[in-house]
Structure 1
Amino acid sequence: MNYINNRKIHSMVSWKKIVLIMLLAISQTAIYAQVRKITSFDNNWKFFKGDVPGADKTDFVDSEWRTLDVPHDWSIEGPYDKSNPTARGGGYLPAGIGWYRKTFTLNETDAQKKHWIEFDGVMMNSDVWINGIHLGKRPYGYISFSYDLTKHLKYGKGQKNVLVVKADNTIQPASRYYQGAGIYRHVRLVSVNSVHFTQWGTFITTPIATTASGTVNVKADVVNTSNKAAEYTVETSILDDKGKIVKSSSTKKSVPAGDKIEFDQNLEVSKPKLWDIEQPNLYKAVVKLKSGGTVVDDQTITFGIKTSRFDAATGFWLNDKNYKIKGVCLHHDGGAVGAAVPLAVWEERFRLLKEVGVNGIRTSHNPMAPEFLDLCDRMGFVVMDETFDTWTASKHNGEKGYNLYFKEWWERDTRDMVLRDRNHPSIVIYSIGNEIHDPLTYPEGYQRYKQQEDVIKKFDATRPVTMALFRPNVSKVYSNGFAEHMEVVGQNYRENELIAAHEANPHWKVIGTENTHVLNQWLALRDKPYMAGQFLWTGYDYLGEADWPETTNNQGLFDRANNWKQQALQRHSWWSNKPVVHIVRKSDNAGSGNWVANWTPADFDTYDNAKVQVYSNCDEVELFLNGQSQGVKPKPANDSAREWDITFEKGTIRAVGKNKGKEVASEEFKSASTPAKILLTASKTNLRNNWDDVSFVQATIVDANGIPCTNADNLIKFTVAGAGEIQAVDNGNIMSHEPYQASQRQAYMGKAIAIVKGKRSGKVTLKAEVEGLEAGVITLNVTP
């Protein structure tokens, strides 16, 4: 009996201990979670387009201003107008001044903290005030920046703080391509203790990375803004993709008052999962700053364990495996959403680029948003991270751009980009300029290049530096000594010049920084082992750099609405590792017009001579028209298209690709009849109620048998009901001047899209209607 009672008592004590331990753990977790507080400042801004004297003052009345969330690009709202001062470069969309005001409160306990505001990007010439105090100006709209708010804040009940931002891109033309306008990237408030990790001050490198072992070096800057010196410990834990701690380390140092100290640690990870293009494995470093047993600051940094290098004879190596960088250049706009791009837009674009075979991205010609690089890390793209399109010399259609600010700002902007971006495993090379028009003489002109390279190396010596040279045989950079001193020689176009330069200087490391879609430029990469890679101009059609009535540059693999273009189909056959077959034909009779991927001519009566090409990486391709073979053609040694000239017949055209006699791929098109209905398909049917998540819903006009009517241009009207809304509409037509923020769009080649986002949990029903046709309906789900 006593044994049973004692057992009960012991059991009760044990449970009490367990409960106490759990409560302590929960308490410590709660405390830990609040050590470094990061608060989104995206919601509930007041906005006014135009200049407003006195809008920077705390007591200014903004109740009549528009309420919105950022990221926000007011320029994409239009309207298109040939007389807009942005002109050709900015795509004829508006420019001017935009004001943003946000009111917020802080608890009295927050008075013990340090607070800074982080902007991922404001376009452009931003001025920022807090409670009427001017904090600073930042001309470059692509750079992330922050301001310390601590001394100017009010705390406690009833005490309001007012953050004000003025964005001014009145001076035009400011760019050769569309920039956008306003607070077009995310904003956050960071709150820390007086002793804390500096912003972007923790740098993680992996000097040794093999499948057997990886060395992770962590350098963390700690600043003590208090008036008391003390000993602090930096404790680092490496977590794998399952959240399991695979290695930990701690370092203790004294941090003097008012000083900054670097903590340096090496952690050995056994049998790491390496980050590469095929398997982009990621780890997290949880870095805590402790005073005794108390955590006073913390940060979690995602990184990859990898090594990369460029070799003069064999090109690019990642983890001692030789790769060709099959890259694309991307501008920062997302088409219909402008410069304020939800991450899901990039996710869909990256998915399609991956399908083509793309493994590299050049951020042309400016820093991208941080989450863009996060996505490159997760999806396995190597990145050329680029700073500027201009130095001091101007460029046509962008004469009043960054060249006005370069001398004063280049060093700080370069430094901030490198500090912010250097922990991304996707980045393998930096570029400090695109087709720079400043004199590139040697040694005088080279000095400006070297100064920028030195700034990068000061903060990240692990990656090489290049620039995109323009017409090098004209600028003489190959003969005057300039290129000789570049770590990697990058050149835009004129591949034969780069090949000749390397073969005359075989110790040079070379890469194509900008290339077109034609066959001989692909062969320059395919056939030359020393050519590290190339970046096609471009991955996607982009706003601007177009002559009215065009508004969009159409050199992309895909158009604004995610539609495959002819060059994407051909590139797919060159770059994909899977069997590929694509059929295209000339749109007009007897080989005239554009290449299109359908079997429905605009005029059946006048179309009788069809020039057909098939893009394929298969050993042989056989073409059939209405079941009749049109012949078999082997794979050309130079990867060129296989061609047929055939008499057009309405019906079905089919191409079959074979390897070693076995069918491995095929494609077919059928001739469409009269439009009958609308078919809706979505890039995703489940959405999060989050600014960064959207679904692309494509409306396709089809005939009674579901065959796309590629010549249809009907007006498609969208209506949405339930827990979502339409963010934008588009059709990919570079000649269209229709507004993107609308609920209708003219079909282009039989298609249009609605970009749908959630606004609360629940179901969203989207309906697409065309007069006289059966409507299309689709339902999406929105979760928290």
Structure 2
Amino acid sequence: MLALPAPAAQVQEGRQVMSLDRGWLFHLGDVPMPKIVGHEDTYRNAKAGNVWGAAALRFNDSAWRKLDLPHDWAVEGPFDPSANVSQGYRPRGIGWYRRYLRIDEAKRGRHFELQFDGIATNATIWVNGTVVHHNWSGYNASRIDITPFLRYGDALNTIAVRVDAEAMEGWWYEGAGIYRHTWLVETSPVYVPTDGVHATPREGRNGAWSIPVEVTLANSGHDPAKVTVDVAVTDPSGRQLAHGRAQATVAVLGQGSVNIPLAVAHPALWSPAHTSLYKVTTTVREKGVVVDELALNTGFRTLRFDPQQGFFLNGEHMKLQGVCIHQDHAGVGVAVPDSIWEYRLRRLKELGVNAIRFSHNAPAPEVLDMADRQGFLVMDENRNFNPSPEYMAQLQWMVRRDRQHPSVILWSVFNEEPVQGSEVGYEMVRRMSAAVKQLDDTRPVTAAMNSGFFTKLNVSNAVDVLGANYQVKDYDRIHAAHPDQPFTSSEDTSAFMTRGEYIGDKEHNVIASYDDDHARWGNGHREAWEAIDTRPWMAGGFVWTGFDYRGEPTPNVWPTVSSYFGIMDLNGFPKTAYYMHQVQWLRDRPLVYIAPHWNWPGKEGQDIRVKVMANVERVKLLLNGRELGEQQVDRYRMNEFKVPYQPGRLEAIGYKGGKDVARAVVETTGPAVRLELVPDRPALAGDGRDAMPITVRALDAQGRAVPVADPLVTFAISGGGKSLGHGNGDPNSHEDEKGNTRRLFNGLAQLIVQSDWNSSGTLEVRATAPGLQAATLSIPLRATAQPPFVPAVASPVAYLDEWRIAPASAQRPDPQAKPAANDMNSWTLGMPALRKEAAAARYQLYRAEFEVTPAQAGGRVHFVGLRGKAEFWLNGEQVKARSSAAPGEYIVALGQARGPATLVVISEAQAGEPAGLDGTVSVEPAQ
């Protein structure tokens, strides 16, 4: 379709999405609300804007810690053997955050939304002393219209968040705090609400596709709005392919919607190998002026789950080579920078993963964007299994947010629920599935069941795709009982390995990396995949797990603090399982790997168990050039040799068609003599958000990595950045992840660094260890345009905006006067305003109570506007008098005042002119 010309229009300031991550204040521990006993306090406590304690506007937060988000306070704390084992023995508790926000007077009338992408776990949010939101999950976002509560100009707005991380939703490490991004979204009064564009492509016939776009509109203005909505689709090169237009009228404080069907012929299809993303841009005009515009990416692809043949993407059969992952990483907990998420997904791609189950919750939105770009098929999973309104809203939020992503192929409504085999479970899922289908009927619904498959009425009767956790022994029986229902493993394996360890030690909670150990309900990596890959009717599987994660240290307890399940450790360093799956999942190139390393002093002549993993036809093993044997490759169970240890060079050669096509070597190294720092990328963006993992290892005199080295390394960071933390993959390590030292574990550790805001030049890293040559690394910082962000307001300034105002009088009032505790009506409460009756009555008394913080001690009270003569009384004593009646600003020194203070102003009108306070009043530090 040809693009219609846009009407001549003046484009005004439209949507602004600004980061709110910078400039927060944090306090670890609860700040109890003061006990309220008096009549006046009790009365005011029930009123909007009059919260007490740490959520109050003028609360003294001067001693609070300054930080930027995302933030996880649990990972900063010590391990505690009395804390919850499943949470990784990390105490969580309660914490508070505060942030100040200035909104320009010119913005009055626009619409403002405060967004939190994730707070662990329960949160209460106040704006200017009024509760604006409660959130009961650590995994869903909060979208809060704060327009009614805002103040403009010099008066600051106060955001306060109380986070209760004692509440648990999972049985894994969940972190604590505002651990995902925060945003301030500013729009015109007529706007498209967050997630208000539904644009999921649908396949037609003969290569024709449609996008039945639905746009929701809202109006927070004072007049009905007549708008024109344009929607355009552009291909990956930016060429417009389709355009549509519709008209709508949006009522005051109401919503409306328009439907604009668009047709696209023969688009490039999205797949893990070819991630073709198309852009859908929605533009809203009122009276010819652009008032809102937003764009989202989507993709064209078909998917089909077949009961007999498994999964098909774009009509081609594909086995789901999936992993389950949680969202924590070494050094940073759950406050994972975007670039570290990119690194994690890249490691999975290199492994051969084509599918991810984000267990057991919706991921951060930027992670799904990465899945679209990098090419992963996603099982998007709901956290709380509950169809009651509060929790149904969480499920609906997830679907609305994520339904445009081509990567999402399955909605999962739960994981391993005890009622799954009952009528109760069936009825719950029936309702949740219906709610999903009302929002998106293009993807199937599943649930991760681990029992109840054979009861008369169970959850499988209410889902589209049957999902099974750990049912290898019953795969065939389940398929026979449900022959017409597509079937996938939603979770499998649960095998144990300690990275770099090849001799088990139960006493010290060490598990050898040969794939011999697994949970009693699970299987080894090789056995689990064989069971899936040899059944054509199985869509695929999701290994538990892609990475180790904190908590759930099965099969051990203290001193173990993280899991052993990962194909990789907490840093993304590979275990033996990594190479097992890589040779099974990557078949486009020949691969050969050897385990273990070849450093076994004291075991000369003793048999060492050697595992060779390959995707070729035959493998030959040589030690120091001497042939030890040749075997036909077992693509599922791999190959093993027993090799009497002799220092030197162990080599595996892979053959295909009789030709040498791949080789792997492990060598006996010398002792470590120096450290090495290996950056993940050549440079960092100097935007204060980009982060990079650096591999830390020890080398011998010949430059070979020493796989058994474990020196204690000390880090020093200088230049335009900082350390975010570090890890080494040892599930039994209790080292401080935020300190400046870390011991290598089986030859490796990882340091994560991040650029400073608006930085350039270099970030310098130096690593030292006793007896080893130090390593230095200089990382260039690319000067980068700052993303839109809300300026941090470091404010020791407090605005006095709650005054008790006595009735105007003809006689000078007593400066010690104050209203009775039970009198809520004689004196006005609020911001002062000039009144004509004040001039007629001559005198006006204003009374304000506030706290002089340490930062304000010796400072001043700044009256932006004052009219008439005035007296100023501070804590019962007159401190100044104004003799001029001319309007203007005025300063009153605080002197020695500290802590709680009472300020009284008595204004006196002259010659019938209004007198009194005329503008903001602020308490400021000394100049």
What TM-score comes out, normalization by structure 1 length? Answer: 0.89
Corresponding residue of 2:581 = 571
Corresponding residue of 1:635 = 633
Corresponding residue of 1:472 = 452
Change (3 A) 1:526 1:184: same
* Aligned residue identity for 1:331: H
CA distance in 1, matches of 2:161, 2:97: 5
Corresponding residue of 2:162 = 166
Contact 2:426 / 2:457 at 8 angstroms: preserved in 1?
no
Change (3 A) 1:613 1:580: farther
* Aligned residue identity for 2:69: V
CA distance in 1, matches of 2:23, 2:127: 16
Corresponding residue of 1:380 = 375
4+ long deviations beyond 4 Å: 209-212
1:440 aligns with 2:421: yes
Corresponding residue of 1:41 = 20
Corresponding residue of 2:329 = 334
Corresponding residue of 1:63 = 62
Alignment of 1:715-726 (within 5 A): 715-726=712-723
Corresponding residue of 2:567 = 557
Counterpart of 1:542 (choices 534, 539, 549) is 549
Change (3 A) 1:580 1:210: farther
What TM-score comes out, normalization by structure 2 length? Answer: 0.76
* Aligned residue identity for 1:163: I
Gaps of 5+ in 2: 1-6, 34-52, 494-523, 785-927
Offset of residue 481 of structure 1: 4.9
Corresponding residue of 2:643 = 646
CA distance in 2, matches of 1:448, 1:119: 29
CA distance in 2, matches of 1:423, 1:334: 27
Contact 2:228 / 2:247 at 8 angstroms: preserved in 1?
yes
1:618 aligns with 2:616: yes
* Aligned residue identity for 1:440: G
Pick which of 536-545 and 496-505 moved more. Answer: 496-505
Contact 1:209 / 1:274 at 8 angstroms: preserved in 2?
no
CA distance in 1, matches of 2:478, 2:298: 36
Corresponding residue of 2:672 = 675
1:513 aligns with 2:520: no
Alignment of 1:241-640 (within 5 A): 241-388=236-383, 391=385, 407=388, 409-438=390-419, 440-442=421-423, 444-472=424-452, 476-477=454-455, 479-516=456-493, 517-546=524-553, 547-585=557-595, 596=596, 598-601=597-600, 603-605=601-603, 608-636=606-634, 639-640=636-637
CA distance in 1, matches of 2:206, 2:355: 23
Offset of residue 210 of structure 1: 8.4
Change (3 A) 1:607 1:677: farther
* Aligned residue identity for 1:375: M
CA distance in 1, matches of 2:20, 2:482: 52
CA distance in 2, matches of 1:148, 1:692: 26
Contact 2:604 / 2:646 at 8 angstroms: preserved in 1?
no
* Aligned residue identity for 2:692: S
Offset of residue 664 of structure 1: 2.0
Alignment of 1:680-719 (within 5 A): 680-719=677-716
1:729 alignment partner, SS class: strand
Corresponding residue of 1:770 = 769
* Aligned residue identity for 1:265: I
CA distance in 2, matches of 1:725, 1:224: 44
Contact 1:209 / 1:319 at 8 angstroms: preserved in 2?
no
CA distance in 2, matches of 1:127, 1:607: 66
Contact 2:128 / 2:158 at 8 angstroms: preserved in 1?
yes
CA distance in 1, matches of 2:300, 2:195: 19
Pick which of 71-80 and 253-262 moved more. Answer: 253-262
Change (3 A) 1:197 1:701: same
2:400 alignment partner, SS class: helix
1:542 alignment partner, SS class: coil
Offset of residue 615 of structure 1: 0.7
* Aligned residue identity for 1:561: N
1:623-653 deviation digits (Å, cap 9, x = unpaired): 11111122221223x5221121122111001
Offset of residue 283 of structure 1: 1.3
1:355-376 deviation digits (Å, cap 9, x = unpaired): 1110000010011111111111
* Aligned residue identity for 1:70: L
Offset of residue 471 of structure 1: 2.6
Contact 1:58 / 1:132 at 8 angstroms: preserved in 2?
yes
CA distance in 2, matches of 1:174, 1:426: 26
Offset of residue 97 of structure 1: 1.0
Corresponding residue of 1:222 = 217
1:461 alignment partner, SS class: coil
CA distance in 1, matches of 2:263, 2:711: 62
The CA RMSD measured in Å over matched residues stands at 2.0
1:777 alignment partner, SS class: strand
Change (3 A) 1:605 1:308: closer
Corresponding residue of 1:399 = none
Offset of residue 541 of structure 1: 0.2
CA distance in 1, matches of 2:305, 2:745: 44
Structure having the higher Rg: 2
2:773 alignment partner, SS class: coil
CA distance in 1, matches of 2:605, 2:586: 33
- Which structure has greater helix proportion? 1
* Aligned residue identity for 2:22: N
Contact 2:452 / 2:458 at 8 angstroms: preserved in 1?
no
Contact 1:177 / 1:543 at 8 angstroms: preserved in 2?
yes
Change (3 A) 1:675 1:439: closer
Offset of residue 561 of structure 1: 1.8
Corresponding residue of 2:889 = none
Offset of residue 277 of structure 1: 1.1
Contact 2:527 / 2:637 at 8 angstroms: preserved in 1?
no
CA distance in 1, matches of 2:398, 2:55: 28
Gaps of 5+ in 1: 1-23, 393-405, 586-595
CA distance in 1, matches of 2:452, 2:748: 43
Contact 1:579 / 1:618 at 8 angstroms: preserved in 2?
no
* Aligned residue identity for 1:425: P
Pick which of 212-221 and 294-303 moved more. Answer: 212-221
Identity of aligned residues (%): 32
1:198 alignment partner, SS class: coil
CA distance in 1, matches of 2:633, 2:583: 11
Contact 2:592 / 2:662 at 8 angstroms: preserved in 1?
no
1:299 alignment partner, SS class: strand
1:148 aligns with 2:145: yes
Aligned pair count reads 722
Pick which of 737-746 and 255-264 moved more. Answer: 255-264
CA distance in 1, matches of 2:359, 2:111: 35
Contact 1:236 / 1:249 at 8 angstroms: preserved in 2?
yes
Corresponding residue of 2:228 = 233
